[in-house]
Each structure stands twice: as structure tokens, then as C-alpha cells.
Amino acid sequence: MQDKTARATKQPARNDRSQAVNADLIAVVIAVTTGEPRVLTIEQAQALPSGPFELGHRSLQSGLRAWVERQTGHQLGYIEQLYTFADRDRTGDERVQISISYLGLTREEQAERSQTHGWHGWYDYFPWEDHRAGVPSILPDIVVPRLSAWSDDAEDPGIRRDRRQRVAYAFGLDDRDWNEELVLQRYELLYEAALVAEATRGRDNGNPPSIPGRPMIADHRRILATGMARLRTKIKYRPVVFELMPATFTLLQLQRTVEALAGRLVHKPNFRRLIEEQDLVEETGETMSDTGGRPAKRFRFRQTVLVERTAAGTKLPLSRG
Amino acid sequence: MQDKTARATKQPARNDRSQAVNADLIAVVIAVTTGEPRVLTIEQAQALPSGPFELGHRSLQSGLRAWVERQTGHQLGYIEQLYTFADRDRTGDERVQISISYLGLTREEQAERSQTHGWHGWYDYFPWEDHRAGVPSILPDIVVPRLSAWSDDAEDPGIRRDRRQRVAYAFGLDDRDWNEELVLQRYELLYEAALVAEATRGRDNGNPPSIPGRPMIADHRRILATGMARLRTKIKYRPVVFELMPATFTLLQLQRTVEALAGRLVHKPNFRRLIEEQDLVEETGETMSDTGGRPAKRFRFRQTVLVERTAAGTKLPLSRG
DNA sequence: CCAATTATTCTCCAAATGAGTATAACCGAC
DNA sequence: GTCGGTTATACTCATTTGGAGAATAATTGG
């Protein structure tokens, strides 16, 4: 901005440059229970919790924390801003709607049943993202063929080639590897190809049926995808997984949590090596006689690491098999 | 949110949950000329350009792009959202002020002189961030001693130890390495220790003088720090440096740009190896007889890479010497 | 032609990473 | 109690990556 005339007449100039808008917060709150990542939802699992931010908080972050904790009874261990969206379609009136989205991690221990909100596995919304038991059949059977058809649909050969490349890259086709971080790119491709319900909603029909995967209102599934992608990236270089773990845990439990988030398996001995050589955990002294097999040592997260929290995180020694 | 009573009475519920606020955009626009990273500023280099976002754009991003290009005549090659801040102090009235900040990269070729805006080296604002010629003397001479004094000032021994650790980590003291990505952490430590002008502004004085480094209005220097940190991180895994380069360039020019951003030197042969094995560039066929020495081949960025833009970027083969 | 300067290509070595093997400690069936 | 199944834990090995330096090539200016 910095309109010179405006500056000359009024001081301070900041105020006139601002635009009056509506704003709210949207939270992607994640917990992992029994090896499944879950997201906190409202409205019959079709929406992410959202609310106004409240004056009187020092920061957006603290406002969100207070609000989520009051509404859900869940303490948020870690909060991070995701993205700010602007929209005009969402509300009927003239104003622009701004939504500031956050990622929050919690332990979902006190998971009482609630009328207003509930937890749902994030792979219900993104069934093509879970590769822990190998490539999910939905990909070769449904998603990839329909994306290929969409690519071939394009008139322009340049666009055709571009679509094919993007699909191949995002979904790890041909000789490429599956990249678990590309959650958002994949969802956006599916949206662009009108293969998710959100893309065809409200338009006159004549659209082909959507692929499996539970839809959400407005752009909430896209926001969830953003959060998943951010978390899958983050666990590789920041020790945030521990925000999702109970006070003590075995290394296999930790591994299962990481695998649940990443949607793919890791090599057990290497995972162990990685965790230990980074001094992220320490033994409690106790062991745990789990299912069958030799008892596992219990570990706890080393608090010292939190001070240098930017320290090396939890890289993923991915396995190919 | 999701207040059940509210939902029962009014539909859709989204509207009532929203909060009326003022919002504007703040841009960190970066260019690199003659080996110096520069930032686009207004108000005698003391503020980042900012303005309202305009209705009628599909996204915040496109609104920002149009606005910056119209105001400055600079095409933004790359735009990325940085962070959204909320404030109450900034404006006099009741409303909350929201600022959505963006990072933009440009080529600063048509750098005409302008009354309203100008370019300034980002190390003018952060002199302790430039380690290309070794550790800048301001660090051992001024910054570190004053941060140490601040650490020792704390009554509580726990806080004292915590401060010392954070300082040592952020500034690479003891046996630790300098981490060029911690721009924001360093600025926030200096702010917390009241060593930058912004921290003591408006308060009754009695404060020690600030350390060198040009201040900015409001929290603009913090936003700039956020942008610098983001860019220093990003160049290591996304090919964004090329947005700052002219159409053709030598590998040394590319290296100098990366070094200017990172604030530290890289090992020439390894930098070359990295760039070439990733197929990021291709030869134009021409050469350039530069200063003294053997003529260098000219390269251009390979457009193909843009399709798989998420492809491996430009890691930094840092050197110790 | 020589010295200085920059470009370009290689080699070397150490650390990080992917993958597989071997041994230990428990359970339950028999 | 012994055996088979199961998980825990500890090593080993090969390959890749990343930091560092040496060697060679092509200019310019004395």
C-alpha cells in the first residue's frame, strides 16, 4: 500500500489500509490410539472444530489452545499454525471470510464420548494414504485408472503430459517411489480431477461418482490434508511424536505411532538405532510383558531435549519391502 | 465452538462464530543483486510493504501478487505464505488486527528509484547473520557478552541454565555449530533480552543501548526474520534460488547467490556436483569471460524441473573453513 | 612465456543409511 | 521341562551421501 496522499493526511496510516473481514480458527487436532491416527471432528465427523478467536489472548496460538481445551477437555501438547485461507463463497454476505488453521497434537487419553465431537481415523478420509500393509488396493483398482483417464481427457497434448507427470509424481507411478509427504498434492489432484465429492458438490450433476474416502464440509478435508502433510514432514526432523505418546512406552509402540502417521513401515533395528543415537529417550527401568515374546524395556522421553527442541528429530528409516 | 443451542436456532452456524477483525497483508519481498540479498521496504527502510487484501481475487496469494506488482513494478516469481499474526496494540480501536505475511522472490532487474519504496540489504537489519567472511566481530565483541550477561541476570538458577542453553544453541557457542536457519530464534532471544530497539520502544527508559542492526516499525523485523529463516531452509530442498537468478548464469554466480542467502560459504566442487547430479540446470552453449580467469559456461534453469517442482532441491554442501 | 585467476574434473575418506543376521527372553502347548 | 512361536535387542555388511582437498584446464595481463 503506502499511498502517499493517505499518509500525508492521516497518521498512523496502518488503520485505513486494513480490510474488515470475518475471521475464525480451524483446528486439526491429532491423536494416535491403538496404532491409528485420529482427528477430532464435529458435525457427524464431517467438520473440523472451529471457532472465533477470542480477544484477550496474547496470541492466536494461546487463544486456540484455551478454546480447544475448554471445548474438548483435551490438553494440546503441541500447536503449530498451518495456513490461512480466505474465501468469499462460504458466507452469504459481502465480507471476506478468513480461516486460520492450526495443527494440534494431544494424547487422547480422556476420550470420553461426547455429543458434539468425536475422533475418527484419518485414513477414513484418505484411504489411499495408508501404505502400512502395502499399496492399498484402492490405488491400482480405482484411483490410478481414473486419474489416468482424466489425464488422457485433456485436449491439449501439453496439458496431457503435464497431468500425467503430476499424477505419476504424486502417486509414485512408474519407477518412482511413494512419497508419503505429498498428502496435499494428492488431494488437490483428486479435487482437480473431480474425483472427490467436494469438487462436484453444488454443481449440476453428470459427474462420475467419487472415489472412496469420507468427505467433509467446505474445504475441511483439504485442511486436514495440510495438517497430515505437515505432521508427516515434521516427525522427520523434530521430536514431536512424543506429544502423541503416553508418559512411558516401548520402542515398538513408538515405532507403531510413527508408522501410523507416516502410513508406511520402518525398519525396526534402524529405527532403534536412530532413536538411541539421538538420545531422545531414556530407560525407566521397568519392562512390559506385552503380547507374546520377550518383555520390552519401557522408555520415557528425555525432557532435556525440549530445551534444544530444534535438535535433530526423528528421521524415518523407511523400508522398501 | 459448535455450540449446540446456537446451531439449533440458526443455520448456517459458520457465520456467528466468526469474529469481525481488521486484516492486511505484509510482504517480505527478496531479491539478490551483486551478491547481496535485499528486501523491499517503505518508510525510509523502516517498514515492510503492506496493504489490504482486495476482494475479487481468487486467493490471498493472487491478491498479494497483483498488489505488489502494481505497487512496485516487480514481478513476483515465487510466493509463499509465512505466518499470520494477531495483535491488539497496533491500532487504537477495539478490533483485532490480523496480518498475513508472505515471502516473495523477484529478480530486481527493473530496480528504478522510487520515492515510496527501496531495497535494503537484509544484513543491515541482521548484521550478526552474515558469516560469509567468518564469524562477524559483532558476535564475540557485543552480542554474546550481552546475552551472557542477560543469562546470568536471572535469579532462578533453572531459568539461568535454560537461557544459557538457548543462547548457546541459537548462536552456536561452545562446541556447537552455527545453524544459519535459526534466524528467528536468534532475533527472539535478542528481543527477550531487550537487546534490540523494538523491545524497549515505548517503555520508560533506563534500558541499555541496543546492539547494532537497523530496527523496523512494529514487528516488521520479526517478520523479516521469519522470511529469512524460511528462505534459508527452503533453498535446501526446493529449487527456489532460480527465482532470484537472471535467465542465464554461471555456476559461481548461482553459488554466490546461495551463499548470500545462507550467510555462509559453500565448497565449490561439491556445490557443482550437487547441482549437476540433480539435473537442475543445462548449458546454454555460451561462455562468459568474467573477471580474470578461465571463461565459465553459462547455464539456464531446466524448465522441466518445475513440473516436478517438489523434486529434490538445492542442498547446501557447507564448508567448515 | 610466466604468474595469477577462475573453471572444471577427480579422488579420497568418513559418516549416514538401508538391509539382513544372530542372539536373548518370554509364553503356551505338549 | 522342552519345543515352537513371538518379540526384543544387538551386530554386521554394503551402499550411498557429504565434506574436503588435489589436479588439470583455460583465460588475462605483464
pLDDT-based confidence at residue B75 (cuts at 50, 70, 90): confident
Kindly report the CATH class assigned to A238-307.
mainly alpha
CB pairs under 8 A between A and B: 157
Which member of B23, B117, B185 has the closest CB to residue A19?
A: B23
Mean predicted lDDT score pLDDT of chain B: 83
pLDDT-based confidence at residue A51 (cuts at 50, 70, 90): confident
Whether nucleic acid strand D comes within 7 Å of the CB of B321, the answer is yes
The per-residue pLDDT for A256 is 94
The per-residue pLDDT for A113 is 60
The per-residue pLDDT for A125 is 98
The per-residue pLDDT for A189 is 95
Contacts of B23 in chain A (CB under 8 A): 18-21, 23, 96, 98
pLDDT, tens only, A191-206? 999 999 999 887 666 6
Looking at per-residue pLDDT, the higher value among B13 and A262 belongs to: A262
The per-residue pLDDT for A135 is 93
Q: Which nucleotides of C are covered by protein (CB under 7 A)?
A: 4-11, 17-21, 24-28
Mutate to test the interface with B, among A1, A58, A71, A304 (most CBs of B within 10 A): A1
Helix H, strand E, coil C: the string for chain B is CCCHHHHHHCCCCHHHHCEEEEEEEEEEEEEEECCEEEEEEECCCCECCEECCCCCCCCHHHHHHHHHHHHHCCCCCEEEEEEEEEECCCCCCCCCEEEEEEEEECCCCCCCCCCCEEEEEHHHHCHHHCCCCCCCCHHHHHHHHHHHHHHHHCCCHHHHHHHHHHHHHHHCCCCCCCCCCCHHHHHHHHHHCCCCHHHHCCCCCCCCCCCCCCCCCCCHHHHHHHHHHHHHHHCCCCCCHHHHCCCEECHHHHHHHHHHHHCCCECHHHHHHHHHHCCCEEEEEEEECCCCCCCEEEEEECCHHHHCCCCCCCCCCECCC
Looking at per-residue pLDDT, the higher value among B310 and A29 belongs to: A29
Which member of A24, A84, A166 has the closest CB to residue B307?
A: A166
**Domains of chain B by residue range:** 14-124, 134-212, 239-307
pLDDT, tens only, B35-55? 899 999 988 889 999 887 765
Mean pLDDT of A172-178: 88
Question: What CATH number does domain B14-124 carry, 2.40.70.10, 3.40.50.970, 3.40.50.300, 3.90.79.10?
Answer: 3.90.79.10
pLDDT, tens only, A214-226? 999 989 999 999 9
pLDDT, tens only, B285-321? 888 877 778 888 999 998 776 555 444 445 556 554 4
pLDDT, tens only, B245-279? 999 999 999 999 999 999 999 999 999 999 988 88
Q: Is the pLDDT of residue B14 over 50?
A: no
Choose from A161-165, A223-227, B89-93 the range with maximum mean pLDDT: A223-227
Mean pLDDT of B212-222: 94
Q: Is the pLDDT of residue B56 over 70?
A: no
Closest nucleotide to the alpha carbon of A298, via C1': D8
Mean pLDDT of A171-180: 89
CA distance B25 to chain A (A): 9
Residues 243-272/B with CB within 7 Å of nucleic chain D are 267, 269-270
- Answer whether A310 sits within 8 Å of B182, measured CB to CB: yes
- Over the Cα atoms of chain A, what is R_g? 22
The correct answer on CATH 3.30.200.20 for the domain covering B239-307 is no
Contacts of B115 in chain A (CB under 8 A): 4
Which member of B15, B17, B51 has the closest CB to residue A1?
A: B51
